[in-house]
Structure 1
Amino acid sequence: MTATTAADTVVTAAGRPVIQPWSVRDFHSDDLDQLISVWQDSRTPGAHPVYSLAEIIDACSNGVAVVAAREGRVVGAAACRIYDGRAWMVLLAQDREWRDQGLGSALLAGMEDRLTSQGIRRISALLPASETRVRAFRNSEYRVEEDLHYFERTIPLQPREREPLSQLGGRLLPHGLWEALAGMQREKALIEQRLILPLARTELAKSLGVTPPRSVVLFGPPGTGKTTFAKAVASRLDWPFVEVFPSRLASDPQGLAGALRQIFLEISRLEHAVVFIDEVEEIAAARTGEASSALQGVTNELLKIIPAFREKEGRLLICATNFIRSLDKAFLRHGRFDYVIPIGPPDLDARRAIWNRYIPPAVSPQIDLEALALASERFSPADIEFAARKASQQALERAVQAPQPVPEEQVLTTHAYLQAIEGTRATVTEPVVKDFLEDIERIARV
């Protein structure tokens, strides 16, 4: 351990040595509280720290750290972590009272002495662009590298969450799912404004009196992308996605209601999560006046679970249904769900965008997207995908059967796609559209 000196000597710009009223020594564990206080006092307002407090404490405990002390009180500190023969400066903090008096340079000198004794010759430091206290580094002849970019990403999952998330069958979804949603601009805009914005900008939302949503229902005809939207929301928020399958819980020894209660108890261990229940009408159907049944018991349990789920921030429950009329009225009331959002068949612009997604780039310039969008009215995104793949498969068969090679643009044409559309039955029928529009008027809450 490096011995403590009575005071440090620094050299002024005029070349005269000056005895400073502090001593630089090795960090001791009982310095930690004072070190944290100095770190907090030394932070530049508005500057995002490169290293968290946990990383600083780890560097002090497991790296190389020194403090400057005056009359038993810590007035400055520096700490490094060593990786592959290079020291990374994690902390350089000074008490406000002793700034611009050579304390920073003295701390760097003390750090360099200790690193040199360990054979370390390269020292690097990352500072926020808005940091103003860089004189110590310049005075100590640290070189500024102008042509560097600093990238940072925080993995949105605590180590302690990995096991419960794995047990729940949840996962972090890839980035870009929200951007990859073709068309559906009206629905995307609504969900962006009502769900994502308040959850992504929680503090701003609260300051403006907006309560971030905790639970929502997506309803609409089959195949219109409700599951896709739920996954895209999780991807956009960078939260783990957990899907609850009532049909799988039914075989649990403790029964469906007990299994449902247990799975939400496990979800409560996650700091953030988007929880998705598809076809929620299976466990939240309208209760009858008859004697209590097992299914009614499950509905009752779910009605108890949702208010408890809503008490904790950082989680969002998304329930989806094709038959919103069949849900229990108590299930949809205010206080349980913030919004009841319709997800309908894609409109003309959305169908055009979805078609464009499934047409190979080699033939795309010659395909009349407008004609395909017009011909596929009432097609769901899944219907369009099916018709597009059907056209491609038929084109492949024709190309293979041709007596000589045929260019792609001659076998995969607008006509070929229109034929595939004619051979595809739309999932959404006219009566279904009529019922959906009525449900929007009577039930939607946006």
Structure 2
Amino acid sequence: MIVMKFGGTSVKDEAAIGRVISIVRSRLRERPLVVVSALSKVTRMLCELAQEAEAQHDDNVKALLSRLRERHFDLARKLLASRPELLEEAIGEVEEIIGKLETFVGGVCLIGELSRRSEARIISTGEVLSSTIISYAFNAEGVSCRLIDARRMIITDDNYISAQPDMETTEANVRRIVGQESKGVDIVLTQGFIASTGAGAPSVLGFEGSDYSAAIFGSALDAERVEIWTDVDGIRTTDPRFIGSTRKIDVISYEEAAEMAVMGARVLHPLTIEPARKRNIPIRVLNSTNPECEGSSVVRSDEAPGGPKSVAFRSEILFVRIRSSRLEGVTRMLGKVFAVLYPKRIPVTLAKATESEVCLVIPEEVDGLAEAFDEIRKWAEVTVYRDKSFIAVIGRDIVGFEGLGDKVIGFSGKVYMANVGANMMSESFVIDRDRLQVTLERLHDYIFEQ
């Protein structure tokens, strides 16, 4: 069995879904479990819907619901035009899903309060809608398909928006349910991203968590491989939206891919790697608009070459210096800082410490950050540097690549912090944001074009 996950851009419209059906059809001998995301930009629309409902903007809520309904109705009509009996059923199911959402959002709008649990309920609707229509499309094209609700299988904790799966329960559910539901059909289809708590409440695996879902399914089923279908030819040496001359990475290790994700590369959800690595299941990153391309393979480190693989970056970060007037010691400094940040779920990309100072790289616009800094200021000086970016060169044995730091200083004009990852997989730098583009271009050329 293989797992095939198709992201939002791969299922964005009639043509894209037609390509998906063709790709899946070519792999029927391998008994695929197909995982789909919401249609492109629908999750963003649902997030906006939740915010407008909380703000009690009734007219905006109605407009967003109307757009949501019409987009999915229009897609169903195009995909199922030749099968009116299936179209009628699909439209009925889509209307039922959106009708329930409309009622729920109306309640949020009435009271003007949006809990994390309610937010998860709203934003999980996109995958339910897309999978419903796509399952009908498969059947209409002669590929017998059975839809399984992922919320029956992936069971999580109560952290509704970035929920953590109970892997033991989840894997048992996946093996049992997929084993039962796959009988007598060509494929089974399910959703990425969405799950439910032990009590049955909706939860989601963090934004862009569909990759993670696919890896969980792959691990549970001991799949031959997990395929992640996107709209680019595999994993690139940097973000092609910023650099036109990127190269495809043919083979990369689990550890390097995980480091890329953590450091800001929009390749795979950071948690995707571990379930596959534990079972030694290869991950292939492929392009649904160019299925003939072999893409990139994520494999064991002894199967991947060494050297630089990628330049990752985060364009909008805060660089924070926390200084104590006392020599606290490294352990105590880190302990005191993270005793404040961890309970508030403040994400830290990078931390570096001396006996009296801690430097942090933190994403901008993080909830609870001001309160955390106020608490730390009771015993230390906190300086926040804005308009900064973070750039990292990733690859096994990266420390053996000479002259990297000097080049970054020369390209950027100033480096506020430099760091070699504890796993020796990355060398990273904090620079001024207005120097990011030129630094990225020159650094990428220096590493990959020389």
TM-score (norm 2): 0.23
TM-score (norm 1): 0.23
Structure whose alpha-carbon radius of gyration is higher: 1
More strand by share: 2
